[in-house]
Structure formats: structure tokens, C-alpha cells
Amino acid sequence: MSGEQWPPLSPLQTGLRGRCPRCGKGHLFQSFLKLRPSCEVCGLDYSFADPADGPAFFVMMFVCVPAAAFPLWLELTYNPPTWVHLVTTLPLILLTCIPPLQPLKGWLVAAQFFHKAEEGRLARPKERDEPEG
């Protein structure tokens, strides 16, 4: 299997579906946000993947902020009782903030594989051969 050539797959196609970034067939996740150790189809080791807090950041900035603006608007416009916030705001925030986490994490892992991203390293400058004396 190691000598087999794999066609480049789009990180959007594989990552958002939670599929292996190399073969597109194996599963990326063991549970909701936990990555598998490797692909069960092609054997790709997922230890290269480190999306860190990326998925949470994207969800917070693009989903949670607008979802949190709704209860503010609701409160300032209608001043409803607390139970109305519990019935409207809580489900809204839960349904808009939790489901996108897995597809975003999958996309970030697939993008790392596709672009061959790795940890940055400081390179030492080459020592010049200086003539003595």
C-alpha cells in the first residue's frame, strides 16, 4: 500500500464529510471530535493533524456572535420573561454552535494534509567558510 499513488482530493469534499484526506473513503473521526489513529482503508496515520482550537474559533466568530446577538435584540425589543429566553435562545445557540464543530475540524485536518502543513522551524543560517588570517 505504501507505493500506491493517491490523487489529490479537495479538503472541502473530504473534510466536511469527515473522510480520510488521502483516499476519501475511510473515516476521520472516532467519536464526535476525536480523530481516529489512522485510516481504516488506506492506513494514513492521522498523527500529523493538529487543528488545535481552529474549529472552536471559527464557530465562535462566525456563528456564536450572531447567535448571541439574537437574545440581546429580543431582550431590548420585547423584554420577555426568562422562560422565553430559555425556550428560544438556548436551542438556537446549541443548534448553531455545536453541529459545525466536526465538519470544520475535518476541513482543517484535510487542509493540513492537502497543503502538507507542518510545524514551523527556525533555520540556522549556513556558516560561511571564512578564510583564516
Which sequence spans correspond to the domains of the chain?
11-114
Instruction: Please give the Cα distance from 117 to 13 (Å, whole number).
Output: 18
Given a cut of 50, the residues of the chain with pLDDT beneath it are none
Question: Rounded CA gap, 68 and 89, in Å?
Answer: 8
Q: How high is the pLDDT of residue 85?
A: 92
pLDDT of residue 126: 67
Q: What is the sign, positive or negative, of the torsion defined by CA atoms of 15, 17, 23, 27?
A: positive
pLDDT of residue 2: 53
What pLDDT does 5 receive? Answer: 87
Looking at residue 125, its pLDDT comes to 65
Contact 49, 112 (CB under 8 A): yes
Report CA 52 to chain centroid distance, whole Å. 8
